[in-house]
């Protein structure tokens, strides 16, 4: 499912999320679909976990010095979900299967 920026901002506004309107662009809700790291993520999760990427559910960046660490959650076409992380751009992604836990 593709979302327009206006639709996402409308949903965010309805949820009580506010954005600065002082000439700043609204932050990206999802990473760009053509981002290079996303292509690497898609290929790597296919090879390592036999997962056809359905969508990136969450995405976050953490700047560490001059490098950016990436982490988030993805879903496969078959319904599985994985947490992913990559501490540095030149390293491989690490995947952890999201499973329900019982306390």
In angstroms and rounded to an integer, the radius of gyration of the C-alpha atoms of the chain is 16
Please report, in tens digits, the pLDDT of each residue of the chain (103 residues total). 444 434 444 444 444 443 434 444 444 445 555 578 889 999 999 999 999 999 999 999 998 888 889 999 999 999 999 999 999 888 999 999 998 765 5
Two structure tokens written together for 37:
């790291």
Task: Please indicate, yes or no, whether the overall pTM of this predicted structure exceeds 0.85.
Answer: no
Residues 6 or more apart whose CB falls under 8 angstroms from that of 90 comprise none
Q: Percent helix, strand and coil across the chain, each rounded to 5? A: 25, 30, 45
Q: How many residues does the chain have?
A: 103
* Strand 53-64 versus strand 67-76 pairing type: antiparallel
How far apart CA 80 and CA 95 sit, in angstroms, is: 12
């Amino acid at each position: 499912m593709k979302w327009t920026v206006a639709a996402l901002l409308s949903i965010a506004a309805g949820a009580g999320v506010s954005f600065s309107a002082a000439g700043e662009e609204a932050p990206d809700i999802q990473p760009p679909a053509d981002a290079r790291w996303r292509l690497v993520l898609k290929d790597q999760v296919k090879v390592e976990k036999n997962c056809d990427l359905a969508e990136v559910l969450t995405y976050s960046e953490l700047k560490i010095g001059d490098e950016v660490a990436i982490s988030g959650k993805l879903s496969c076409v078959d319904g599985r979900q994985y947490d992913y992380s990559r501490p540095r751009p030149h390293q491989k992604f690490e995947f952890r299967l999201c499973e329900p836990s019982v306390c």
